[in-house]
Structure 1
Amino acid sequence: MSKAITLTIPHELGRAEAKRRIDEGFASFAQHMGAAAGVLSKDWTGDDRLTFALAALGQRISGSIEVEDAAVRLEVLLPNLLAMVADKVRGRLKKEGQLMLEKK
């Protein structure tokens, strides 16, 4: 059974800078999700919504990232195999997202 993960990560970057960092850091995010040996697709719909899908080792992960002025909302649908470790995936995504959106 698949499992959805939803995270909201606050930031102080403004919408445009948060979107730029997400766009540049997406390859790293995808590697953490297991796409290093898989197929990755991403598409910005509208100005502030990134939809993505990746497939690796016979599993498909999909989701979206909504960029707001002071927060980013991430929704990821994990397939059966990864659903069993959803809490670990959630923790890793939160940590990586916070690092990516940290004000420097």
Structure 2
Amino acid sequence: MSAPLIVSIPHRLGRDEARRRIESGLARATASVPILKLDEQRWDGDRMMFRARALGQVAAGQVEVADDHVRVEVVLPWLLQKFAEVTQATIRQRGRLLLDKKP
């Protein structure tokens, strides 16, 4: 099994607003990336467990929402490990856009 890919995204929204934005933004994100399909999404408090499919491969992970940051951890199957750096940068970039506090 490969090591998990971990991204921490700071925010100043507070836990509730960050979670709300993640919930609403997740649907838009999967709709905008045609090769990505969310198979499962389950919240337990401020932690969301998920399973996603891309290129016929399944990745599993979790999103933890804290007062000042969001931590995304995902384990990629060996085929998707080739895209780990791109995946990590994309998660970080889209997460920052989603969690950026608007004036």
Q: Is TM-score (shorter-chain normalized) higher than 0.5?
A: yes
> Which runs of 5 or more residues in structure 2 are unaligned?
none
In structure 2, distance between residues paired with 1:97 and 1:76: 14
Q: Is the 8 A contact 1:50 1:64 kept in 2?
A: yes
2:79 counterpart SS class: helix
Q: Is the 8 A contact 1:3 1:86 kept in 2?
A: no
Q: Is the 8 A contact 2:18 2:99 kept in 1?
A: yes
In structure 2, distance between residues paired with 1:29 and 1:48: 20
Q: Which residue of 2 aligns with 1:85?
A: 83
Which of 57, 60, 76 is matched with 2:58 structurally? 60
Q: Is the 8 A contact 2:38 2:50 kept in 1?
A: no
Q: Deviation at 1:68?
A: 0.2
- TM-score, normalised by the number of residues in structure 1: 0.86
Q: Deviation at 1:28?
A: 3.4
- TM-score, normalised by the number of residues in structure 2: 0.87
Considering only aligned residues, what root-mean-square deviation do their CA atoms show, in Å? 1.9
Q: Deviation at 1:39?
A: 5.0
In structure 2, distance between residues paired with 1:95 and 1:65: 15
Q: Deviations over 1:61-102 (max 9, x none)?
A: 110000000000000111111101211110111000000000
In structure 2, distance between residues paired with 1:92 and 1:82: 14
Q: Which residue of 1 aligns with 2:39?
A: 40
Q: Which residue of 1 aligns with 2:9?
A: 9
Q: Which residue of 1 aligns with 2:20?
A: 20
What is the aligned length? 101
TM-aligned CA distance change 1:102 to 1:69, over 3 Å = same
> Which runs of 5 or more residues in structure 1 are unaligned?
none
In structure 1, distance between residues paired with 2:34 and 2:63: 14
